[in-house]
Amino acid sequence: MRYYVLDRGDQHSMDLSQQFHRLAQEKNFKLDAESPEIVVSIGGDGTMLHAFHTFIDRLSDIAFVGVHTGHLGFYADWRADELEELIHLMSQSGSEGPLKPRIVKYPLIELEIHKKSGNASFIALNEFTLKGVDGTVVAQVDINDVTFEMFRGDGICVSTPSGTTAYNKALGGAMVHPTIEALQLTEIASINNRVYRTLGSPLLLPKHHHCDIFSRKDQRLLLTVDHLNFPVDDLISVRCQVSSHKVSFARYRPFPFWDRVRIAFLN
C-alpha cells in the first residue's frame, strides 16, 4: 500500500499524522509522495481541498481518505480516535489484502478562464466563485451559448454537488447528492429592481450543459477555485461545466451523504 499524508499543520493534526506514520510502518505501508494509491488528509474539509489540489494531476490513480481533528467534515469523516481502525481496514484492503474498499466517485467542475493576458483551466472540488473587488460585478450569463441574464451584484458561485454543503449552502443553494452529475449556479447578492433583473433562484445544470460568464465592464475581480484566490483585472469569460474527471474517495465503511448532512447541520 503506497500512501501519503497531508495534515492541517496544527499540533493535534501533526501529532495524528505522526501516529499514522508509526502505525502504517507496522503494517508495511510505503510512504510515497510521488505516486501514492491512498492520500490521507488529517484536519478538516479545508485540508482535503489542499490534498485534492496537491494531487490534481493524479486524480485517476488516487483515492482520498479524510480524518477530522475538529468537527465532522463532508470529506473528512473519520474521527481522530478511529485511526487504528482505519489503518487496520486499510491493511486488509491493500493490493495484497482480502478486502477492497468501496471507491465512491464525486463529480467535479471544469473551468476555462479566458483573459486578455491569456487562458487558464482549473478543476474545482467545492466551487468556483467570481466576486467584485471594488464595486458591483457586471456579468452576462449564457447557458449553452444562449444569453440567459445580465447579472449585477456581488458575484456568482458555481458549485459541485459535494461543494453544495459549503459556500453554496450559505447562498441559499440546494444540497445535492454527489451521485448527481450537475453543477449549481447561485447568485451572491444580486441587484433586483425595476431596472435590473436576474432569475434570483439557484440553477442546476446537468452534465451535458455548460454556462459562460462574460465580464461586461472593466472591473477588478476575485476568482476563487476552492481555497485558491486569483485577482484578475482583464477577464473576458469563464466557461463552467461538469468535468470529465472525478475524484475518488476510499470508503472503508458506509457513511451515507444524508447521514453526514444530518449530523453536520442538525444533530
Amino acid at residue number 3: Y
Cβ-based nearer residue to ligand NAP, 227 or 246: 227
* Position 104, amino acid: V
Q: Which three cell numbers stand for residue 149?
A: 441574464
Return the number of the residue (24 or 156) whose C-beta is nearest ligand NAP. 156
Q: Which of 267, 78, 107 minimizes the C-alpha distance to 184?
A: 107
Helix (H, G, I), strand (E, B) or coil at 227: coil
Catalytic residue among 10, 15, 45, 81: 45
Q: Which stretch binds ligand NAP (CB under 6 A): 94-102, 141-149, 162-170, 238-246?
A: 162-170
| Contact yes or no for 64/70 (Cβ under 8 A) | no
Q: Is 163 in the site for ligand NAP (CB under 6 A)?
A: yes
In the bound state with ligand NAP, the residue whose beta carbon lies nearer, of 126 and 241, is 126
List all residues 6 or more positions away from 124 whose beta carbon is below 8 Å from its beta carbon. 108, 109, 111, 158, 160, 163, 225, 226
Please list every residue from 24 through 63 that binds ligand NAP, using CB under 6 A: 44-46, 49
For residue 181, say whether it is annotated as part of any ligand binding site: no
Q: Are strands 102-115 and 78-79 parallel, antiparallel or unpaired?
A: unpaired
As a whole number of angstroms, the distance between CA 83 and CA 134 comes to: 46
50 labelled binding-site residue = yes
Residue where the block lists cell 499524522: 17
- Known catalytic residue: 45? yes
Pick between residue 126 and residue 190 the one whose CB is nearest to ligand NAP: 126
Interacting residues with ligand NAP between 67 and 86 (CB under 6 A): 70, 73-74, 76
Residue 57 assigned as binding residue: no
Q: Which residue numbers belong to the known binding site for NAD(+)?
A: 45-46, 50, 126-127, 152, 154, 189
**Could you list the active site residues?**
45
Residues of this chain that bind ligand NAP (CB under 6 A): 44-46, 49, 70, 73-74, 76, 126-127, 162-163, 165-167, 170, 226-227
